[in-house]
């Protein structure tokens, strides 16, 4: 009798490689690995070889970079979704797409279970499990296996398990450190090892996308980014697809040390976690789009977009992508972005991003009204009547209440 199948989300790293072996041992199931390519680049080299070494029956690699950009990254960018004002949600935005592909792969190969390598105290377990349960609700139920949540091994014990199983796992860092890395087009998250000490400065070998400020060029570089309805479409006048644009901007900004984030983060499960991120393109594009918004949105629109951005960041971070609320927010953001079209020039230098210009045919900036030169068209005398009406409620309250109490 054929064994049941389990589709495992597989990166080729230590956790997922150990999981492939562990599921076979503990559940007596055939394991099919699914590597969802969100733009991990060289991280995918040798993935099939490592999966084969772990004894899996089939290794799938699906390139979903375009879908990731068009259906997830741009949504987060337009919303201004920066969790706790600093994190561009590179990992969090990728998880719902991975959950979607896990369900699709399970249906395709006839699996009865899916698995991921998330721990029991992280955010990703919620993102995966909630997404899988939601998307599988209309068909045969899928069992969810989470080895790292079940086996109770420490990081050091995982290393010993890998060694005993004869597994060749990727190492990031020097010969002693093995960081936990999650990487995709939108950024990479680095955690674990000595980074768990919040006083410890991240060593340079933890970074791979960005240069330290001391090693960046001594000449600043300027980049012009064009947007259409909130979506970046070109760099320096050259039209690019989303994947190519992000890749090129990651290289340019990373060369100038832009995009390093060291953040003590509030996890969904109630603990704080030290997270180090490299998100060069995300930082630049967020700064640029927000600058363009100042020209194209009225004040109330800007403030509402800012509020929606916080809501959007929280729901993405908390694993609530497949909800009507997210769809409603997307619809509102899409409406808000309908006139956010134009160009933004940014200067990159020694880790800093400085907006030096913005322009749009839909700009609400009126030179004739804003200037103090002889071209001034503003009716200064009209301000007197405006101030009288504007201050009327305060004057009445001060007269009838504040001064009344003082008597």
Write out the catalytic residue numbers: 15, 95, 124, 180
Distance CA 393, CA 189 (A): 51
148 exposed, middle or buried (CB, 10 Å; 0-12, 13-18, 19+)? buried
**Alpha-carbon 218 to chain mean position:** 30
Q: Between helices 90-109 and 299-317, what is the axis angle to 10°?
A: 50
Would you tell me how many other CB atoms lie within 10 Å of the CB of residue 104? 14
The most distant pair of C-alpha atoms in the chain lies apart, rounded to whole Å, by 93
d(C-alpha 258, C-alpha 283), whole Å: 8
Exposed, middle or buried by CB within 10 Å (0-12, 13-18, 19+), for 119?
A: middle
The C-alpha atoms of residue 203 and residue 134 are separated, in whole angstroms, by: 40
Q: What is the DSSP letter of 203?
A: P
Number of residues that this document lists for the chain: 407
Q: Quick one: which of 91, 138, 113 has its CA closest to 34? A: 113
Q: CB–CB of 342/357 below 8 Å?
A: no
DSSP string, 260-281: EEEEEEE-TTS-EEEEEEE-HH
The candidate with the shortest Cα–Cα distance to 95, out of 133, 130, 120, is: 130
Report the C-alpha gap between 407 and 401 in whole angstroms: 10
Contact 150, 180 (CB under 8 A): no
Contact between 211 and 254 (Cβ < 8 Å): yes
Local structure of 115: helix, strand or coil:
strand
Structure tokens at 351: 């880790």
Q: Classify residue 322 by its DSSP letter.
A: S
> Can you tell me the distance from the alpha carbon of 25 to that of 322, in angstroms, rounded to the nearest whole number?
33
Secondary structure element (H or E) that encloses residue 344, with its range: strand 342-349
Cα four-point dihedral sign 109, 115, 116, 117: negative
């Amino acid at each position: 009798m054929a064994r049941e199948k389990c589709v495992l989300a597989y990166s080729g790293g230590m956790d997922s490689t150990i999981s492939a072996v562990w599921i076979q041992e503990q559940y007596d199931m055939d394991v099919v690995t699914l590597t969802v390519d969100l733009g991990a680049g060289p991280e995918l080299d040798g993935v099939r070889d490592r999966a084969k070494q772990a004894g899996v029956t089939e290794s799938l690699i699906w390139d979903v970079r375009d879908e990731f950009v068009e259906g997830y990254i741009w949504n987060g960018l337009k919303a201004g979704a920066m969790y706790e004002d600093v994190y561009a949600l590179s990992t969090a935005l990728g998880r719902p797409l991975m959950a979607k592909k896990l369900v699709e792969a399970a249906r395709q190969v006839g699996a009865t279970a899916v698995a991921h390598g998330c721990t029991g105290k992280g955010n990703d377990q919620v993102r995966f499990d909630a997404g899988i349960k939601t998307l599988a609700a209309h068909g045969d139920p899928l069992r969810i296996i989470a080895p790292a949540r079940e086996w109770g091994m420490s990081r050091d014990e995982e290393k010993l398990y890998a060694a005993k199983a004869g597994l060749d796992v990727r190492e990031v860092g020097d010969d002693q450190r093995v960081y936990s890395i999650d990487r995709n087009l939108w950024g990479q998250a680095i955690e674990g090892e000595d980074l768990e000490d919040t006083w410890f400065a991240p060593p340079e070998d933890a970074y791979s996308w960005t240069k330290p400020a001391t090693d960046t060029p001594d000449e600043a570089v300027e980049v012009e980014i064009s947007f259409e309805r909130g979506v970046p479409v070109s760099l320096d006048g050259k039209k690019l697809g989303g994947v190519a644009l992000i890749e090129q901007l990651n290289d340019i900004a990373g060369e100038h040390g832009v995009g390093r984030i060291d953040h003590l983060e509030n996890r969904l499960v109630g603990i704080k976690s030290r997270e180090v991120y490299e998100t060069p393109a995300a930082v630049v594009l967020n700064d640029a789009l927000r600058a363009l918004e100042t020209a194209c949105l009225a004040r109330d629109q800007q403030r509402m977009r800012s509020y929606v951005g916080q809501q959007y960041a929280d729901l993405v971070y908390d694993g609530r992508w497949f909800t009507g609320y997210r769809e409603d927010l997307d619809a509102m953001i899409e409406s808000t972005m309908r006139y956010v079209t134009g160009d933004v020039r940014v200067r990159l230098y020694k880790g800093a991003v400085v907006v030096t210009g913005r322009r749009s045919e839909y700009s609400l900036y009126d030179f004739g009204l804003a200037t103090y030169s002889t071209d001034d068209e503003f009716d200064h005398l009209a301000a007197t009547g405006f101030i009288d009406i504007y201050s009327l409620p305060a004057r009445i309250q001060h007269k009838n209440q504040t001064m009344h109490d003082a008597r």
